Structure 1
Amino acid sequence: MNWFSILSHESYELHHHFNRFSRSKKLVLAALLSALAAILQSTGNYLPGIGYFISPFATLPILICTIISIPFGLQSYILTFLLLILIQPDESFIFLFTTGIVGLGIGIALLILKRRIGIIVFTSILLTSGICFLLYIVQFPVLGPVASTSPSLKIIGFIYIFSFFYSWIWGELCRFIFKKWFKLMKKI
C-alpha cells in the first residue's frame, strides 16, 4: 500500500455520475440516506450489545451523500443530527462529533485531497477534535471510564492514534465499497 497514492478513483466516477442527477433526485437520496444514518446511529440504544457494532456504520450514508456533493453531505449531516434529536437525543451529539464527522471528513477529503495519507490525517484530526470537544469541553464521557474529563496530553495522543487507525480502516473500507459499487454500475 502506497500512502501517497490516490485512494479511490471510483469515488470521482461516482461523484460525476451523481452530478447528472437532478437536484430533486439528490435531495430525495440525501433525505433517505440521512434517515438510514439516524437509524444506524440509534441502534446502540435500541439493540444493546450488537447495536454498538452496527452504529459506526452511520458513517457510510453521510460519506455517500458527501460523494454526491459536499453541500448535500453537509445537508445530510445536519438532517441526521436533527432526526437524532427527535429519536435519540443522547446519540445526537455523539453522531455530530464522532460518527458523522468521519463520514463528512472522508467524503470531503476524497474529493479535495485525494491522496490516502491526506485523507487519513485530515479525518483523524477531525475525529480527534470531536472526541476532545465532547470529552474536555462538554464533559461528556464519550470514552466511558477509559479517559477522565480532565485534559491530558497522553490521553489526547492515544485518542489521535485511535482516530488515525479508525480513519485508515474507514478509508480502506470506502475504497472497497466504491470499487464494488462502481463495478456493479458498469454492469447495469
Structure 2
Amino acid sequence: MNLFSILSLESYKLHDYFKTYSHSKKLVLAALFSALAAILQSTGNFLPGIGYLISPFASLPILICTIISIPFGLQSYVLTFLLLILIQPGESFIFPFTTGIVGLGIGLALLILKRRIGIIAFTSILLTGGICFLLYIVDFPVLGPIATSFSLRVIGFIYIFSFLYSWVWAELSRFIFMKWYKLVEKNR
C-alpha cells in the first residue's frame, strides 16, 4: 500500500456512472441515504452497547451520497442533521462534527484530492477540528471527562486518533467502492 497512490479509481467511475441518473433519482437516493444515516447515528441511544459499534457507520451513507454528487452529499449531510434533530436531538449535536464530517470529508477528498495521503490528512484535520470544536469551544464532553482542559498533548492524541480513524475509513471506502463497481458492471 503506497500512501501517495490514487486511493480508488472505482469511486471516479461510480461518480461518472451516477452522472447518468436524473436529478429526481439522485434526490430520492440522497433522501434514502439520509434516513439511513440518521437511523445508524441513532443506534447508540436505541441499542445501548452494540449501538455504539453501529453508529460510526453513519458516515457511509454520507460518503456514498457525496460520491454520487457533491451537492447531493452536502444535502444529505444537512438532511441527516435535520432528521436527527427530530429523532435524537443529542445525536444531532455530535453528528455534524464527527461522523458526518468524516463521510463528507472522505467523499470530497476522493473526488478532489485523489491521493491516499491527501484523503487521510484532509479528513483527519476535519475530524480533529470537529472534536476540538465540541471539546473546547462548545464545552461538550465528546470524549468524556478525559479531555476537559485545553492541552496540545490532548490535541495531538486526538489528531493521531483522527488520522488512524480516517485511514481505516479510507481503506474501507476503497473496498466498498471496488465491490460496488463490480456489481454495477455486472448488471449493465
TM-score in terms of structure 1 length: 0.99
Q: Which runs of 5+ in 2 are unaligned?
A: none
Letter of the structure 1 residue corresponding to residue 42 of structure 2: S
Name the structure 1 match of 2:66.
Answer: 66
The residue aligned with 2:165 is 166
Which residue in 1 is equivalent to 2:26? 26
| Offset from partner CA, 1:2-36 (integer Å, 9 cap, x none) | 00000000000000011100000000000000000
- In structure 1, list runs of 5 or more residues that go unmatched: none
Correspondence for 1:110: 110
2 CA distance for matches of 1:41 and 1:100? Answer: 9
Q: Deviations over 1:154-188 (max 9, x none)?
A: 00000000000000000000000000111111111
Amino acid at match of 2:25: K
Please report the TM-score for the alignment, with normalisation by the length of structure 2: 0.99
- Residue number in structure 2 paired with 1:55: 55
- Paired with 2:67 and 2:110, the residues of 1 have a C-alpha distance of 8
| 1:1-150 superposed matches below 5 A | 1-148=1-148, 150=149
- CA offset at residue 147 of structure 1? 1.5
SS of the residue 1:139 aligns to: coil
What is the aligned partner in structure 1 of residue 153 from structure 2? 154
**Root-mean-square deviation over aligned CA pairs:** 0.5
Give aligned pairs, total. 187
Q: State how far apart, in whole Å, the 1-side matches of 2:10 and 2:99 are.
A: 23
- 1 CA distance for matches of 2:179 and 2:5? 19
Shift of 1:44: 0.1
Residue 93 of structure 1, CA deviation: 1.5
For 1:87 and 1:163, the matched residues in 2 are separated by 27
Amino acid at match of 1:7: L
Paired residue type of 2:41: Q
Q: What is the CA distance between 1:82 and its match in structure 2?
A: 0.2
Q: Which residue of 2 aligns with 1:179?
A: 178
SS in 2 for 1:43: helix
- CA deviation digits over 1:115-154, x for unaligned, max 9? 0000000000000000000000010000012221x21100
Provide the rounded CA distance (Å) in 2 between the counterparts of 1:145 and 1:10. Answer: 42
SS in 2 for 1:48: coil
Taking only the aligned residue pairs, the percentage that are identical comes to 82
One-letter amino acid of the structure 2 residue matched with residue 178 of structure 1: F
Moved over 4 A (4+): none
